[in-house]
Amino acid sequence: MYLRGLLFMMLMMSVVAGAGFMGVRKLRLPEKISIQLKAPLITQNMGRIFCLALIGFTLAIAIPARQDTPYYHMIDSQDCQAFVWIKDNVDKLREGDTRPIEGYCHHREAHLY
C-alpha cells in the first residue's frame, strides 16, 4: 500500500477507535442490576471501567507481539570500516578531486580498474 495512504488510514482508524471508546465509556448498567449492587462507585463508572479493561487488554496483546521487533540494524566490523573510510574521504570528494581514491571507483574512470 502507498505509504501516505497508510498514514491517513491509521488516522481514520484512530478516530473511529476513539469514537468507539467514547460509546463504551457512556455504557451504564440497567437499573435493576445497579439497585442490587450496593457499590455506587462501580455502578456509576461501569463504562469507564470497561473502557480501561479494553485498553489494558489491547496493550497486553500488542506490546509482547512487537517487543522483539529489531528497530535498529547492528552493523558488523566491515560496515564500520566502510563508514570510517567515508568519513575520512568525504572532504576529498567534496573538493572535486576527480582522481580515484583507493577503494573508490568513479563512473567515468571505471575502466581504469
pLDDT in tens, 53-93: 999 999 999 888 878 777 666 677 888 888 888 888 887 76
Q: What nine digits make up the cell of 36?
A: 442490587
Q: What nine digits make up the cell of 79?
A: 560496515
Look at residue 72 and tell me if it is in a domain.
Answer: no
Residues 59 and 85 in one domain: no
Helix boundaries (H) for the chain: 3-25, 31-36, 40-44, 46-66, 77-94
Contact assessment for residue 55 and residue 62, using Cβ atoms and an 8 Å cutoff: no
pLDDT band at 14 (very low <50, low <70, confident <90, very high): very high
Q: What nine digits make up the cell of 113?
A: 580498474
Look at residue 71 and tell me if it is in a domain.
Answer: no
Residues 52 and 86 in one domain: no
Which residues span the domain enclosing 92? 77-112
Residues 42 and 61 in one domain: yes
Handedness of CA 15, 20, 22, 25 (dihedral sign): negative
pLDDT surpasses 70 at 15: yes
**E strands along 2-112, which residues?**
none
Residues 14 and 49 in one domain: yes
Residues 60 and 8 in one domain: yes
What is the average pLDDT value for the chain, to the nearest integer? 77
State mean pLDDT over 20-43: 80
What's the pLDDT score for residue 3? 74
Residues 93 and 60 in one domain: no
Contact assessment for residue 43 and residue 37, using Cβ atoms and an 8 Å cutoff: yes
Nearest residue to 103 via CA among 84, 94, 66, 95: 84
Look at residue 82 and tell me if it is in a domain.
Answer: yes
pLDDT surpasses 50 at 25: yes
Please tell me the pTM assigned to this model: 0.50
